[in-house]
Amino acid sequence: MNTIVAIRGDFDAGFPDLKALPRDVDRVPGRELADLVARWLRQGDLVVEGPEYAEPFFILRHGGGREQIEVLCSIYDPQAGVWVVEATGRRGLLSRLLGRGQPPALSGVLAALHEGLGREPRVREMRWFARLPADPFGPVAFGSGPFPG
């Protein structure tokens, strides 16, 4: 399963003037994309908390306990307008030791994310990965969606 998507898109990639900002304000770009991702997940009937700013990410959360999914949104290459969104399932120690896979809710989050990105006119290109390569838009193998096939 591909849980990371690299996006070439027309979102605000400008960094604020840090000297003029109070400490409790976003210090990296990405709020605009994170707000969109939250909307897409909610349109997919998912209950989502956030986005919460935690430099260098904006974090969204779905579910709780052993079924919690975190979605991290961040700028990857400001000059090229490359963004990364990664969905990860939080598993407890026992689940990891027993070799259990990702929480079932992860599939719904990835499907809603993929659908939202596909409809967004500011997304010019997207590539899906299980592990993010150093140059996601270079000559590397990638998926066209989160699921094989």
Q: Which CATH number do you get for residue 109?
A: 3.30.310
Residue 38 maps to a domain: yes
Residue 83 maps to a domain: yes
Hey, what are 43's tokens?
A: 């349109």
**What is the rounded CA–CA span in Å between residue 143 and residue 149?**
9
pLDDT at 122: 92
Instruction: Domain of residue 113: give its range.
Output: 4-13+26-129
DSSP of 55-115: TTEEEEEES-GGG-EEEEEEEEETTTTEEEEEEEE---HHHHHTT--S-THHHHHHHHHHH
- Residue 74: name the closest of 92, 89, 64, 87 by CA: 87
Q: How far lies 108's CA from each of 45, 65, 123, in Å?
A: 9, 17, 21
pLDDT at 10: 87
Report the Cα–Cα distance between both ends of the chain, in Å, rounded. 10
Residue 51 maps to a domain: yes
Residue 30 maps to a domain: yes
The number of domains in the chain is 1
Residue 145 maps to a domain: no
pLDDT at 34: 92
For residue 16, say if its preceding peptide bond is cis, omega within 30 degrees of 0.
no
Residue 47 maps to a domain: yes
Residue 120 maps to a domain: yes
Q: Which residues contact 94 (CB under 8 A, 6 or more apart)?
A: none
| Averaged pLDDT, groups of 10, the chain, 149 residues long | 94 68 64 91 90 88 83 91 90 60 83 94 95 96 92
Residue 139 maps to a domain: no
